[in-house]
Amino acid sequence: MAAKRKANKPEPLPAPPKAVVSAAKVVCEGVDKLIHEPLRLGILCALAGVEYLSFTELRRLLSTTDGNLSVHLRRLEEAGYLHCEKGFRGRMPHTRYRLTATGRAALEDYVSHMEAILRHAHRVVRPR
């Protein structure tokens, strides 16, 4: 009768350096997923520097389609990050958007969070 073999247990992995753990936590915690989507981030950044932009101006600036832009604008508006004004120029409908105080604060928080991620990543990628 053959002797039973014990299954080899894999060696435990060494604990990751504190800088790696810290960077991973910063990345995973607190990212505003609504803003993190590239087109929505582009919308907020474009509006942060001006009083308002029209739908057409945003579409051209961000090189996207009407349908794609309208979906993302609606999501940001529902979150309270944008205000939409609809009107007419002559007989043509005209829609313009502006960043709300809530949207500006959310964008500022997002940028601060990204800066923190980059600081932590810098420590991991280029340790001293």
pTM higher than 0.85: no
**3-class DSSP state of 78:** helix
Type of residue numbered 97: Y
Higher pLDDT, 99 or 19: 99
Domains and CATH numbers, the chain: 30-125 (1.10.10.10)
Q: What is the distance in angstroms between the CA of the first residue and the CA of the last residue of the chain?
A: 58
Distances (CA, A) of 43 to 6, 66, 84, 109, 125: 59, 13, 13, 16, 31
What does the pLDDT read at residue 88?
86
Question: Is 126 within 8 Å of 43 (Cβ atoms)?
Answer: no
Confidence category of residue 5, pLDDT binned at 50, 70, 90: low
Which residues 6+ apart lie within 8 Å of 97 measured at CB? 43, 47, 52, 53, 54, 55, 58, 73, 77, 82, 83, 84, 85
